[in-house]
Structure formats: structure tokens, C-alpha cells
């Protein structure tokens, strides 16, 4: 006869042994999972470092000489290209300092047959735009044997057209957007909303107009008139620059200066542009088909950030939108 205590002990030992086996399996599974996760982290880190090295090397080798399209000048006549793309503002790629630097270098290079200012900009600061316009006019007088042409890709509106009007000729595509010769000042008014919410605005100023156009205070006619006068002045500067650049080619219709935007096809009819063309077709007309990019490079870190950002943006958009496009 088997002792019940022995059976109980054997059962307990068997259960304990089974529990140990389960615990061992769980521990080993957790260790394997941690190892796998660590390998993924190491692999991803190494891949990211390799990608950074590749991007850095690519940007350094592409930007060391400062020349893009067509490479460095080789002693033959070339068409110099300066790209004005994006918002015209301080600190941006299309800021006056960068664009003027590129145009100045293009004019001063001994092998430049002509310059193409390739514009794709919705505008920006009227001051920055005026800086570029004035410098182009000055350099054209100093280097009167070198023509400067503007080629509009998608858009040259507002400040973008301000700059374009300094060119000897403006080339567009039929579907380019051109014009918007006007000035704007944006603001919001929250007075009624604050009253509904029971919010009281408290503002102390030294100077009765220091709270000019405060969105939380009622609009004052005198202040509005002052701002409108200021906008009209800046608009007048814009109009004068366009007339100076375009001369008698302009249709004198007042609609041109009303802030309306026009298609490339309409811009030809109104004298806002001269012909259809691209950067390459202008280079052919100049008989200098080698194109050299004089657009100043951004600093290395900024280029790396832009490259990573654009790559990430493309990946995200492809993931979210697939091959969606507008035809």
C-alpha cells in the first residue's frame, strides 16, 4: 500500500517541476524578445547613422564649389541660373541677401552670357522684394552687356512679381500664375466673442495708438484710415517698380494693379510677361546651353535637415496617399 504522504509529495514535486518549466520558458521568451528588440534598435541606429553619413557626403560633394546645374564653369560661355523659390523673407531661401549674392556672382563671372532668375514664389516681404529689385536694376546698369531674364514656373505673385518686373524679359508657362500687384494686412476681431464669453480685455499703453488694431478691442476709424494710408503708400511703391521695369509694355488698365492674379496666357495679353519659355529654352536663345547654378547654398546642417525632412515627408505622403495625384 502506497503512503498517501509520499503520493502528495510526489504530486507537489511534479507540480513544482512543471511550474519551474513554465517560468523558465517565460523567462527565456522574455530574454529572446529583449534581444530581438535590442538588435532592432542597434540595426535602426546603424542604418540612421549610415544614412546621415551618406546625406552629408552627398551634400558636401555637391555643394563644395557652389555650382549646381551643369557643374562648374569650364571657360565656355554659360547661362547663369539663380533660383528664387518660396517665401521672400529674412532667413528664408528666397531672402534678399541670398538672392542678391547669387545674382551678383552671376553678373561678375567672366563667362556669363546671360542670367535666368527662375521664380517660383507667392511673394513675401515688400522690403525684401524691393531690395532684390533695386539691386538687379543697379547690376544691370553696371553690366549692361549681360541680359537678365525671369522665368516663372508655377507662380510669381505679389513680391515674386515685384522682383520679376526688374528683368529684361519675363517668360511664363500658359498655366503659370502671375501678378497680385497689391499689399495686404491681415487681422482678426474677437470683440463680440469675448463679450459672449464674459472676458474683459485689460490693456495699458503709453501712447494712444500703441494698441493699434488690437484684435480684442473695437476697430477705430482713425487707426484704420492710418493703416490704409500706409498700405496705399507701399502699393504705390510696388506700382512704380512694375512701371519702371515693364515700361510701355504694360496694358494701362487699372485692373492690373488691383491685386488680381492672372494665368500665364492672360499675362502676355496684359503685358505682364513677354513670351512662353523655360530656363532651358532661354539658354538656347542665348546660345549658351551650359547652365550653371549660382543660387547660394544653405549651410550644411540646414541642407541635411531639409533633405531628411523632404525624405520623411515623401515617405509619409506615399504611405497616407499612395499614388494619389491630380491630373
CATH code (residue 253): 3.90.226.10
Cell output for 35: 534581444
Residue with cell 511664363: 172
Does 322 reside within a domain?
no
- For 293, the 3-state DSSP assignment is strand
Does 316 reside within a domain?
no
pLDDT in tens, 293-315: 999 986 555 545 555 554 544 44
Mean pLDDT throughout 222-234? Answer: 93
Residues 45 and 192 in one domain: no
Range from 241-250, 275-284, 305-314 carrying the lowest mean pLDDT: 305-314
Residues 231 and 285 in one domain: yes
Residues 143 and 270 in one domain: yes
Does 252 reside within a domain?
yes
118 close to 82: Cβ distance less than 8 angstroms: yes
Residues 56 and 72 in one domain: no
pLDDT at 72 (0 to 100) = 59
Mean pLDDT throughout 141-152? Answer: 97
Question: Within a 10 A sphere around the Cβ of 15, how many other Cβ atoms?
Answer: 10
- What is the DSSP secondary-structure string of 61-104? HHHSSS--TT-S--SS-EEEEEEEES-BSTTSTT-HHHHHHHHH
Range of the domain at 23: 4-62
What does the DSSP 8-state code read for residue 154?
Answer: E
- Total domain count for the chain? 2
Q: Rounded to two decimals, what is the model's pTM?
A: 0.71
Does 81 reside within a domain?
yes
Does 301 reside within a domain?
no
157 close to 123: Cβ distance less than 8 angstroms: yes
Residues 97 and 56 in one domain: no
- Smallest CA-to-CA distance from 187 within 217, 158, 232, 209 is with 217
Residues 116 and 237 in one domain: yes
pLDDT at 307 (0 to 100) = 52
Does 112 reside within a domain?
yes
Instruction: Tell me whether strands 261-263 and 112-121 are parallel, antiparallel or unpaired.
Output: unpaired
Does 325 reside within a domain?
no
Does 191 reside within a domain?
yes
172 close to 268: Cβ distance less than 8 angstroms: yes
Residues 214 and 141 in one domain: yes
Residues 24 and 115 in one domain: no
Cβ-proximal residues to 63 (8 Å cutoff; 6+ apart), any chain: 297, 300, 303
Cell output for 273: 510677361
Residues 50 and 74 in one domain: no
Q: H or E stretch including 83?
A: strand 78-85
Amino acid at each position: 500500500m502506497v503512503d498517501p504522504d509520499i503520493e502528495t509529495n510526489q504530486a507537489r514535486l511534479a507540480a513544482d517541476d512543471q511550474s519551474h518549466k513554465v517560468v523558465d520558458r517565460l523567462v527565456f521568451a522574455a530574454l529572446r524578445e529583449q534581444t530581438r528588440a535590442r538588435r532592432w534598435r542597434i540595426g535602426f541606429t546603424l542604418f540612421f547613422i549610415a544614412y546621415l553619413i551618406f546625406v552629408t557626403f552627398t551634400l558636401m560633394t555637391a555643394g563644395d564649389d557652389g555650382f549646381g546645374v551643369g557643374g562648374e564653369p569650364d571657360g565656355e560661355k554659360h547661362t547663369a541660373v539663380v533660383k528664387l523659390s518660396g517665401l521672400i523673407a529674412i532667413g528664408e531661401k528666397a531672402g534678399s541677401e541670398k538672392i542678391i549674392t547669387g545674382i551678383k556672382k552671376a553678373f561678375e563671372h567672366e563667362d556669363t552670357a546671360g542670367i535666368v532668375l527662375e521664380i517660383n514664389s507667392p511673394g513675401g516681404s515688400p522690403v525684401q522684394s524691393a531690395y532684390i529689385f533695386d539691386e538687379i536694376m543697379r547690376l544691370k546698369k553696371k553690366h549692361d552687356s549681360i541680359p537678365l531674364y525671369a522665368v516663372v514656373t508655377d507662380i510669381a505673385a505679389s513680391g515674386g512679381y515685384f522682383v520679376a518686373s526688374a528683368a529684361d524679359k519675363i517668360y511664363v508657362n500658359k498655366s503659370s500664375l502671375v501678378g497680385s500687384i497689391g499689399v495686404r494686412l491681415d487681422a482678426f476681431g474677437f470683440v463680440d466673442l469675448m463679450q459672449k464669453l464674459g472676458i474683459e480685455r485689460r490693456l495699458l499703453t503709453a501712447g494712444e495708438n500703441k494698441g493699434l488694431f488690437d484684435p480684442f478691442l473695437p476697430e477705430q476709424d482713425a487707426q484704420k484710415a492710418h493703416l490704409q494710408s500706409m498700405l496705399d503708400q507701399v502699393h504705390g511703391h510696388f506700382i512704380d517698380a512694375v512701371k519702371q521695369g515693364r515700361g510701355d509694355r504694360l496694358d494701362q488698365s487699372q485692373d492690373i494693379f488691383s491685386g488680381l492674379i492672372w494665368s500665364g496666357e492672360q499675362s502676355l495679353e496684359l503685358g505682364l510677361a513677354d513670351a512662353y519659355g523655360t530656363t532651358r529654352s532661354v539658354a538656347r536663345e542665348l546660345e549658351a546651353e551650359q547652365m550653371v547654378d549660382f543660387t547660394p547654398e544653405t549651410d550644411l546642417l540646414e541642407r541635411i535637415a531639409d533633405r531628411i525632412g523632404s525624405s520623411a515627408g515623401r515617405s509619409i505622403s506615399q504611405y497616407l496617399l499612395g499614388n494619389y495625384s491630380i491630373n
